[in-house]
Structure 1
Amino acid sequence: MDHRQTMLATAQGSPAAVAAHDKAAWLALFTDDGIVNDPVGSALHSGSDELSAFYDTFIAPNTVVFHPHHDIVCGDVVVRDVTLEIQMSDAVVLSVPVHLRYEMAGADHIAGLYAHWELPTMIRQMLGKGLAAAPVSLRLTKSLLQNQGLSGSAGFARGFSRVGAREKRAALEHLRTTQPDWTAGKCLAAGRYVTVSMSRAGEHAVAMVEFSGKSITDVTLFTDQ
């Protein structure tokens, strides 16, 4: 495989390890100081111990199926436009739109995994399952406290703080003005970023729009190279 194909295969190894519930294989994909920020806006997990605790909290108890839409390799970054199907119990199955950004350390290892998805939207979806969501919520809370402690639980809750509908509208308007040949699709807000799926005559891209307060400070368009 060439460098691009190897990078993509490495990134795709993450959902493969998740599906197999192979913790060792998942951890081996990252550098020794690798980072997971999931969702973007929450506290970072860095290094093997913290990544191990992340796996035990959010991956091990669930069945996660990745439904990929488009994969983009842009320089040393792999961006995956996916929908996650998360089975938290027989009665609680969630569908979560996500943009996954893998910062690669060479072709064979992941330096940073940044998952752009909307935590409040997912929680509303889970609570919409009614009484079936109660044991799932209790299990998640217990797992957070056991594996992350109070500070880690508070760090996860930081994912609720994000830019909102106003910034989404501003990002889409900016992209319409600066990228008129592209059509915007899925639009997500996580942390201080809005990410948008883009398409143009069979091409696919993901735009990442960064905000400071209500102002756009940076825009990156990840296109396949």
Structure 2
Amino acid sequence: MTAVTWHGPETTHPARAASRRSMDAVSRGAKEEWLALFAEDGVVEDPIGVSMFDPTGDGHRGRAAIAAFWDKAIAGVERFQFDIRDSFAAGDEVANVGTITAFLPGGSRVDTEGVFVYRVDAAGLIVSMRAFWETERAMATLRQA
């Protein structure tokens, strides 16, 4: 099964391209490659606001904090499946609509429905990745794979 299923437009847009590179790196467990996609002062808010990954709700700012987010939220997942149903690019941003499935140790999985927004700088580096999803809705999908 392909790790990233893309149903959005195929048009080239810097933020869309960066978002696709990000999903690809996550799906392959390529932490350093993923971190290199971010501007030095980039921020990750996944999900936006206070969460189990971000107790202050301020986001993960800078590559060191983004690396710590990887270790906390991504590293423990056996594999990810991205199913992007649509993608809307405007200005220096893109909003992808879809589902991220996390396959967890022990054979369970969680489907996270959301809108995933990326903003890039002039060099195409991600300055902001904001994920709109609801913890309760995602956890309600927890099941054995």
Q: What is the TM-score with the length of structure 2 in the denominator?
A: 0.80
Given that 2:103 and 2:109 are in contact with CA atoms closer than 8 Å, whether structure 1 keeps it comes out as: yes
The match for 2:115 is 99
1:77-102 Cα offsets, whole Å, 9 max, x none, are 11101111110124211111110011
Unaligned runs of 5+ in 2: 1-10, 51-56
Other-structure match for 1:30: 38
The residue that corresponds to 1:40 in the other structure is 48
Taking the aligned partners of 1:6 and 1:55, their CA distance within structure 2 comes to 23
| 1:104-161: CA deviation from partner (whole Å, max 9, x where unpaired) | 21251110000000112223333xx4xx7xxxxxxxxxxxxxxxxxxxxxxxxxxxxx
Amino acid corresponding to residue 19 of structure 1 in structure 2: S
How many equivalent residue pairs? Answer: 126
Runs of 4+ in 1 over 3 A off after TM superposition: none
1:169-222: CA deviation from partner (whole Å, max 9, x where unpaired): xxxxxxxxxxxxxxxxxxxxxxxxxxxxxxxxxxxxxxxxxxxxxxxxxxxxxx
Q: Distance in 1 between matches of 2:49 and 2:123?
A: 26
Larger Rg: 1
The counterpart of 1:11, out of the listed 7, 16, 19, is 19
Q: Which one-letter code corresponds to 1:101 in the other structure?
A: V
Q: Indicate yes or no: 2:96 matched with 1:80.
A: yes
Q: Percent identity?
A: 27
Match of 1:57 in 2: 72
Contact kept, 8 Å, 1:39 with 1:118, in 2: the verdict is: yes
Paired residue secondary structure (1:106): coil
Q: For 1:6, give the aligned amino acid.
A: P
Distance in 1 (alpha carbons) for counterparts of 2:82 and 2:46: 15
Between the aligned partners of 1:122 and 1:82, the Cα distance in structure 2 is 13
Counting helix residues as a fraction of each chain, which structure ranks higher?
1
**Letter in structure 2 aligned against 1:100:** F
- Unpaired runs of 5+ residues, structure 1, are 133-225
Query: What is the alpha-carbon distance in structure 2 between the residues aligned to residue 29 and residue 57 of structure 1?
Result: 19
* Relative contact order, higher structure (CA 8 A, sep 6+): 2
Q: What TM-score, normalized by structure 1, do the two folds share?
A: 0.53
**Contact 1:10–1:107 (CA<8 Å) still a contact in 2?**
no
* Distance of 2:72 and 2:108 partners within structure 1: 17
Which residue in 1 is equivalent to 2:3? none
